[in-house]
Amino acid sequence: ALSGDGVIKHAQKGSAAPLFLYFFNFLYYNISEKAGILTMLKKLYGKMVNPETVSYLIFGVLTTAMDWIVYPISRWFGASVAAATFLGWAAAVIFAFVTNKIFVFKSHVWAPRGLLREFVSFVACRAFSGFVTIVAMVVMADFLGWNEYLAKVIVSAMSLILNYVFSKLIIFRKTSAGE
């Protein structure tokens, strides 16, 4: 392989190809020699892409689908944007609690006290994110006049991220007592 200087020496006047090769050669040598960026990206990828986050994403999509199924049906029956958003959220919360507990975070807490703590904290966190969802939907769709389904996509993405953080750090956190 030619070093960056070797590529320049072999460049033909007016040719863009050697400069293109020089650019990638320069990047390769600078990144591979320092390897800090690649190592950091690999570590970040390893932390972000694991069975828990992948299953959360899958069940998050299914939870969002539940919301998206209930929302237009509610609108079809004449519910307001706020009411339809609440109904979709409520159906999604029930589905999400079961799937997150069993399949995503694999919580083995079944004692009544621990189960109640998980359920109450799950509903409280989802109520908070649900409130944020309703406010965001009403602001985007009713006040700003955005297409309500575009607003729904944006709000769904925000909700997915917010709920993962709550579930990971608050609701299904691992404790030493097993509760």
pLDDT at 2 over 50: no
**pLDDT > 90 fraction of the chain, expressed in percent and rounded:** 44
Q: What is the pLDDT of residues 103-120, one digit of tens each?
A: 999 999 999 999 999 999
CA distance readout (Å), 103 to 10, 56, 86, 171, 172: 58, 8, 25, 14, 12
Q: 22 or 56, which is more confident?
A: 56
pLDDT of residue 48: 74
pLDDT of residue 61: 86
Q: What is the pLDDT of residues 73-97, one digit of tens each?
A: 999 999 999 999 889 988 988 899 9
Backbone angles phi, psi at 146, to 5 degrees: -70, 155
Q: What is the pTM of this model?
A: 0.60
pLDDT at 173 over 60: yes
